[in-house]
Structure 1
Amino acid sequence: MKLIYFDHAATTAMHPEAIRAYAEAAGAGPGNPSSLHALGRAARERVTAGRDVFAEVLNVSASDLVFTGSGTESDNTALFGAAYAQRKKGKNGIVTTAVEHHAVLNACRKLEMDGFQLTVLPVDSNGIVSLEAAKAAIGDNTAVVSVMAGNNETGTLQPYAEIGEWARTYKAVMHVDAVQAFGYVDFDLQRLPVDLLTLSAHKINGPQGVGLLYVRKGTPFQPLLHGGSQEKSRRAGTENVAGIAAFAKAAEIVSIGREARIAHAENIREAFLSGLEQALGSSGFVINGHPDRRLPHIVNVSFPGVSSESMLMNLDLAGIAASGGSACNSGSLKPSHVLTAMNLAPERVSSAVRFSFGLGNTNEEADKTAKMTATISARLRNR
């Protein structure tokens, strides 16, 4: 039985060219980028080349980029690094939203435990934060504002640029978690009012265990990790040379092919939803998230009367991989904090399944998954 993988928001398969870049770097021999000998210099050149790729893709200076071990590390480095630096200037407020990834939410809660004043902005039923509420929350005391670009559970896009403009007027540091949106949204950081931006390799067909943090020049910042002077003393620890090479190749591919990538995801999404409607009828499911302001590769669907755990278990038995929400919490029976923050009915929250599309998926897979999902839904409802 061939597995259908509709969980690209959790992680993606490595692109063949990224695998080749990884293998080439890993097979080049031992080399620490901090070493002065020839092998060390060769490793450093690979890291530099990777940084240059991201500088071009994001339209920033290569010196503003810090390689990390994951998106979570990048989020934590951004939040703690900016918050503690800002507190030295008398700023003590943290503003974020109720639908952030737990890498941001839990970091913000830790900052609150450390004495910062935390404001968590609510969202509407589509999962969008109010610009007016954000403006009301941001003031002279605000140290850091953190708003994700696109939600990892619903795909809903946030007004992060507009919020960033407002944050700038109060000299608050603006952080954007772009882990899920990168590859589908153009981030021209010379144009956007963003001071810190988080990326992760394994969401764009790169390897797991590599992240990136953009730190705009002049942004108040202090390192989270202490040790050597790697990454201009902003992130201690030997760089993952092979991972960075593969990450850069994956970023190059998604940047050049962004429009085709968007069209492919939209095509799969439409085929899946059309198949669901034909098999279940419009009353048999409901889509969670904004209908238009969204990422193209994620669709969060509730099946009233069917628990998400039962649906996912049966889909898995049928060879279809989907998710109940964030991959970091998929093993938990806790309801989605994102859907709960949207004030959806409990039955809708408890029956939600996330399908996410990407490299290698086909319309035939979408049609088969829609039919199988409808069959499972009907069977479970009739019990």
Structure 2
Amino acid sequence: MIYVDNNSTTRLADEVAQAMSEAYAAGYLNPSSQHQLGQKARRRLDDARENILNFLGGETTRFQGDRLVFTSGGTEANNLALFGLGKITGGQVIISAIEHPSISEAADQLRARGTIVRVLPVNTDGVAQLDQLSDWLAEPTRLVSVMLANNETGVLQPVTEISHICRQHGVPLHVDAVQGIGKIPVNFRSLQASAMTISPHKFHGPRGIGALVLDDHVKLNPAMFGGSQQLAMRPGTESVELTIGFETALKLAIGAISEAGIRMQFLRDRLEDTLLKDLGSDVMAINGRNALRLPHTSNIAFPGIDRQALVMALDMAGVACSTGSACASGSSEPSPTLIAMGLSEEVISGSIRLSLSRDTTEEEIDEVAKRISNCIKHLRRS
């Protein structure tokens, strides 16, 4: 089976598995305990937290500066940001039309509770349009939340420009950077965001842990209660072992990012060009191709082909891919991202997502292109 669904999750790197195995063998105990064994765990946890912040371009010392709040994953971190960030009570929230379900559905909950939620539209390439943003921010606004790069198309969003507009109006900006970390250089301070979500299982780290990076001036209201861990912003006993896996995976990803980014983009372009040459532009289209994209993501439409039938056929042919967000993998509903882009129903219903990793090989890409081409030809004949 050739795996090209890395935006869903990546395989755990051997080095990460080894680091976590050694951490489990070390027998770390509860880092909140006051005895020597607990404080040993606390020191290792704090070291990992500080290293992760430094890898992400945060400015921190052990007791002040930017903060890193560990969560159970990207979904919890996004929910924590949407419900917990902001200096004012009752202000509107602004998101884009292509956010991950952990943002868009959380925004639906806010709307049901009486919060005004405004949605930035996107163009046909899937790039958020900012024409109305300044006017909207003239009204009391608690938070703006826009992803760094779309999880379905890989299209990069104008986060730097959004950050500049938000700073002019004194409104905090949250950036869901889950898909971008480890694929492109990301520096929290350079983004000038108030908060940023990260999830290590997207770059060969462990599942079950994520984080919300917080600017040193931002206030976060907790969503959970019953403990003083992490300054009571997210109570619960921290996992030293998962944190070490997080730290190791991020260090590896950042160390390999230049070479891996160039290589993944070469392979993605090779895949797209091969399919276009074999099938033709009248049979397929690449969604978001005219925009800046992550180097490893390709969203391809085969109009007239049912996307779920194609994914099933590819699975039988030994190619693991998806129709979009893993959080909606069991859903037959069309992609909200592609709908927001204004694409035709035929394009939307025939689109699949292929996402590479730094471990993907040229031989695998050539074989994937061959198997996709064969499946498309078979389905078109059927």
* TM-score bracket, shorter-length normalisation: over 0.9
Deviates more, 1:198-207 or 1:43-52: 43-52
Q: What's the counterpart of residue 72 of structure 1?
A: 75
User: Deviation string for 1:206-241 (max 9, x for gaps)?
Assistant: 000110111111213211111111112111001121
Checking the alignment, whether the CA contact within 8 Å between 2:77 and 2:211 is kept in structure 1 is yes
Q: What is the CA distance between 1:46 and its match in structure 2?
A: 2.2
User: Over aligned residue pairs, what C-alpha RMSD do you find?
Assistant: 1.3
Checking the alignment, whether the CA contact within 8 Å between 2:10 and 2:202 is kept in structure 1 is yes
Q: What's the counterpart of residue 57 of structure 2?
A: 59
Q: What's the counterpart of residue 297 of structure 1?
A: 296
Q: What's the counterpart of residue 377 of structure 1?
A: 376
Q: What is the CA distance between 1:277 and its match in structure 2?
A: 2.1
Question: Which runs of 5 or more structure 2 residues have no equivalent in the other structure?
Answer: none
User: Deviation string for 1:46-102 (max 9, x for gaps)?
Assistant: 21121121121122225511111110110111111114x521xxx511000110001
Alignment of 1:90-129 (within 5 A): 92-129=91-128
Deviates more, 1:321-330 or 1:129-138: 129-138
User: Deviation string for 1:278-317 (max 9, x for gaps)?
Assistant: 3212322100014341101100001112111111001100
Counterpart Cα distance in 2 of 1:338 and 1:232 = 36
Q: Partner amino acid for 1:79? A: L
Q: What is the CA distance between 1:370 and its match in structure 2?
A: 0.7
Counterpart Cα distance in 2 of 1:150 and 1:248 = 22
Checking the alignment, whether the CA contact within 8 Å between 1:6 and 1:356 is kept in structure 2 is yes
Deviates more, 1:193-202 or 1:275-284: 275-284
Counterpart Cα distance in 2 of 1:136 and 1:352 = 35
Counterpart Cα distance in 1 of 2:227 and 2:297 = 40
Counterpart Cα distance in 2 of 1:113 and 1:21 = 44
Pairing partner for 1:86 from 79, 85, 88: 88
Q: SS in structure 2 opposite 1:367?
A: helix
Q: What's the counterpart of residue 5 of structure 2?
A: 7
Alignment of 1:190-201 (within 5 A): 190-201=189-200
1:313 paired with 2:316, answer no
User: Deviation string for 1:357-383 (max 9, x for gaps)?
Assistant: 003211111111111111111111111
Q: SS in structure 2 opposite 1:284?
A: coil
Question: Which runs of 5 or more structure 1 residues have no equivalent in the other structure?
Answer: none
Checking the alignment, whether the CA contact within 8 Å between 1:127 and 1:290 is kept in structure 2 is no
User: Deviation string for 1:160-192 (max 9, x for gaps)?
Assistant: 111111111222110000000111232222232
Deviates more, 1:107-116 or 1:239-248: 107-116
Q: SS in structure 2 opposite 1:257?
A: helix
Counterpart Cα distance in 1 of 2:27 and 2:52 = 24
User: Deviation string for 1:335-366 (max 9, x for gaps)?
Assistant: 00100111100010000000000032111111
Alignment of 1:269-348 (within 5 A): 269-348=268-347
Counterpart Cα distance in 2 of 1:100 and 1:11 = 18
Counterpart Cα distance in 2 of 1:214 and 1:199 = 8
Q: SS in structure 2 opposite 1:213?
A: strand
Q: SS in structure 1 opposite 2:286?
A: strand
Q: SS in structure 1 opposite 2:196?
A: strand
Normalising by structure 1, report the TM-score.
0.95
Deviates more, 1:345-354 or 1:62-71: 62-71
Counterpart Cα distance in 2 of 1:86 and 1:25 = 42
1:26 paired with 2:24, answer yes
Q: SS in structure 1 opposite 2:379?
A: helix
Counterpart Cα distance in 1 of 2:197 and 2:334 = 26
Q: Partner amino acid for 1:49? A: D
Counterpart Cα distance in 1 of 2:237 and 2:250 = 21
Counterpart Cα distance in 2 of 1:289 and 1:278 = 19
Checking the alignment, whether the CA contact within 8 Å between 2:74 and 2:197 is kept in structure 1 is yes
Q: SS in structure 1 opposite 2:160?
A: helix
Counterpart Cα distance in 2 of 1:18 and 1:330 = 27
Q: What is the CA distance between 1:146 and its match in structure 2?
A: 0.2
Q: What is the CA distance between 1:30 and its match in structure 2?
A: 4.6
Counterpart Cα distance in 2 of 1:15 and 1:264 = 18
Checking the alignment, whether the CA contact within 8 Å between 2:77 and 2:212 is kept in structure 1 is yes
Alignment of 1:171-250 (within 5 A): 171-250=170-249
Q: SS in structure 1 opposite 2:223?
A: coil
Q: What's the counterpart of residue 254 of structure 1?
A: 253
Checking the alignment, whether the CA contact within 8 Å between 2:142 and 2:172 is kept in structure 1 is yes
Checking the alignment, whether the CA contact within 8 Å between 2:145 and 2:175 is kept in structure 1 is yes
Deviates more, 1:259-268 or 1:171-180: 259-268
Q: What is the CA distance between 1:142 and its match in structure 2?
A: 0.9
Counterpart Cα distance in 2 of 1:142 and 1:291 = 32
